[in-house]
Structure 1
Amino acid sequence: MKPYNTEQTKKEEVREMFDRIAPTYDMLNHTLSLNIDRLWRRRVVRLVRRFAPRRILDVATGTGDLAIAMARRIRGTQVLGVDLSEGMLDIARRKVAEAGLDGRVVLDTGDAERLFVSDSAVDVATVAFGVRNFGDLDAGLRDIARTLREGGRIVILEFSTPRNPLARAFYGFWNRRVLPRVGGMVSRDRKAYEYLPESIGEFPAPERFLEMMSRAGFRNCKARSQSFGIAHIYVGEK
């Protein structure tokens, strides 16, 4: 599925969508998730820190929240954040500068399916709430695997549909009724905040996504449910 259903490719529409909503993205993201997204990112950082990485690639880095958190909390690491949207990257660059992390976090325009990173160049690759927006999910996973050294890890944080009936009912109400109205009103792009929750329903179930990770070249793939299955943290080893 695509945000605007025009003749553009999904990748082109996703870039346009995030450029449009970039100014209000952080505020809406934290508010509409009731700040649970911050908790999930902290868990990702703690997990990545266990691998003691020196070089991290953060794909679909957006406004840089995860890249900044990893640079702050993992001593000696260098983070390269890439994203399709220059609008999101502009905000990320300001946040990096304000945090005094210019020397630790580098941000650049990048396509997950054709990363400009050399083979076996990074220790850990991360993606937070970005894989469901890939134009070609299989191609994106394969190219991320290419950039990892042997034994390197991929850590993905992504929304999912809860299996618990009560959690699924609440989640469905929030995504169908609240998020499009509030997100659309604040960002002035209702279609973006209709697409974002709908894309969660289109994303593969955890078991299916683990199979895709395995096909892309990862082993020991595992999924960790977060907050009654509202999100999952996926981990794999090259």
Structure 2
Amino acid sequence: IIGIDFSTTMLQLGKNKVTAKNMQSSIQLFPGTVENLPLKGDIFDGAISAFGARNFSNLNHGIREIHRVLKPRGKIVILEFSFPQNGFLQWLYRLYFGKILPVMGRWISGHKNAYSYLPDSVEGFPKGEAFSTLLKKNGFDSVDFKELTFGITTIYTGFKHA
């Protein structure tokens, strides 16, 4: 297992967890970005991103890089926030995301802008068919998506062409 993150703080947290679980021989963590993976092509059976794709600096390029490092028939799995389709749930979710979460984030973290970016990043991320189409345009087939938790999250899957 190889993990990549641009945040040295997140890498250190990850390394601490890997060490605490004595998994240094199974898990390696490296600094980097998805848009410029420091890895050879066609080496992984799978790639997973949970709540990270929204933060790719270039979404298409990041997806192409993931495609590059996957072996033929390798699987991509991306879990991302989305918006519920139900009008009432969507209203509640937007209220929570736009008003409550930023205040709680500031209060808990002490940072003025903590969690303020989250609603905008979720709003700007392509959802459902739009993101599935993006995966297909970047070389993935058998693309599928499933809304989870009443549409608050969506899991996307696809495979690199054989």
TM-score range, shorter-chain basis? over 0.9
TM-score (norm 1): 0.66
SS at match of 2:113: helix
Letter of the 1:236 partner, please give it.
G
User: 2:65 is matched with which residue?
Assistant: 143
Structure 2 Cα separation of the partners of residues 192 and 184 of structure 1:
5
1:13-55 per-position Cα deviation (integer Å, ceiling 9, x unaligned): xxxxxxxxxxxxxxxxxxxxxxxxxxxxxxxxxxxxxxxxxxx
SS at match of 2:116: helix
1:190 aligns with 2:112: yes
Query: May I ask how many residue pairs the two structures share in their alignment?
Result: 160
| Higher relative contact order (Cα pairs below 8 Å, separated by 6+ residues) | 2
User: 1:90 is matched with which residue?
Assistant: 12
Give 1:184 shift. Answer: 1.3
Structure 2 Cα separation of the partners of residues 169 and 96 of structure 1:
40
Structure 1 Cα separation of the partners of residues 124 and 113 of structure 2:
16
SS at match of 1:209: helix
Counting helix residues as a fraction of each chain, which structure ranks higher? 1
Structure 2 Cα separation of the partners of residues 188 and 221 of structure 1:
41
1:169 aligns with 2:88: no
Give 1:190 shift. Answer: 3.1
Letter of the 1:191 partner, please give it.
N
1:118-153 per-position Cα deviation (integer Å, ceiling 9, x unaligned): 110100001000000010000000010000000000
1:235 aligns with 2:157: yes
Structure 2 Cα separation of the partners of residues 94 and 183 of structure 1:
24
Give 1:189 shift. Answer: 2.1
Q: Stretches of 4+ moved more than 6 A in 1?
A: none
TM-score (norm 2): 0.96
Alignment of 1:67-106 (within 5 A): 79-106=1-28
User: 2:139 is matched with which residue?
Assistant: 217
Structure 2 Cα separation of the partners of residues 93 and 224 of structure 1:
32
Alignment of 1:114-153 (within 5 A): 114-153=36-75
Give 1:196 shift. Answer: 1.5
- How big is the alpha-carbon RMSD for the aligned residues of Structure 1 and Structure 2? 0.9
Structure 2 Cα separation of the partners of residues 163 and 190 of structure 1:
31
Counting strand residues as a fraction of each chain, which structure ranks higher? 2
